[in-house]
Structure 1
């Protein structure tokens, strides 16, 4: 993934500066959205290496669901920040429990407790992501003064 996506990302940033088509942010400010994503993948990969029970082999579906949902949650926050022309947060708040879990795994031999921690973080990030989506839909409906999941009847003349 890194070999395919990051070179294009850096190329697009370079091209936007060269053609003056972007927002002309500093390099560090332009790379700010990558911090949460890189932090997520660093923590999850590190967890997989230090796991006392080889968490990826023992719970692959749960592990990948958690990584995918956490990535999707971060990406949705970045999309909303981009759409609203606001500065994205440096570290997404949903990564804080993951920092704690990885620190516990690093310094303690938890064995099967790791599975419960993975379940806990999976449930946490899934609920957080669903609730964030519901909040965004509600906010957009209020802004556009429409009802979600309803199609107004159009009179045919």
Structure 2
């Protein structure tokens, strides 16, 4: 009986270690849910950020690189979309949750509160919301293998 209990306990410990997540597990390149862009998530200090590194259609109708024309700040409307930081100031809480951050949508010019949850190694849930998390939308990004 003691041997069985030890084996079960050992299996539980190994299972927890296998599913344990590290704060840096989020780092890397992610394909947006709609597939039109890729975001590189990186770390600066203890916080996590993400910038657009690829667009399926990087140029506008005139053939020039797309700009941040919907930005509410007129001073920022000339910024190129590729290279634009869209994820800002996320901190790792625990159990695969990064929160207290913001996400900027260059298509609308809106900034939302945001929480990210690592669903599995290659699936990242992005929850954008106003006020409380219940009033929002979730989309799933897929890791881009290098």
Q: TM-score, normalised by structure 1?
A: 0.28
Structure with more of its chain in strand, by fraction = 2
Larger radius of gyration: 1
Structure with more of its chain in helix, by fraction = 1
Q: TM-score, normalised by structure 2?
A: 0.29
Bigger relative contact order, structure 1 or 2 (CA pairs below 8 A, ≥6 apart): 1
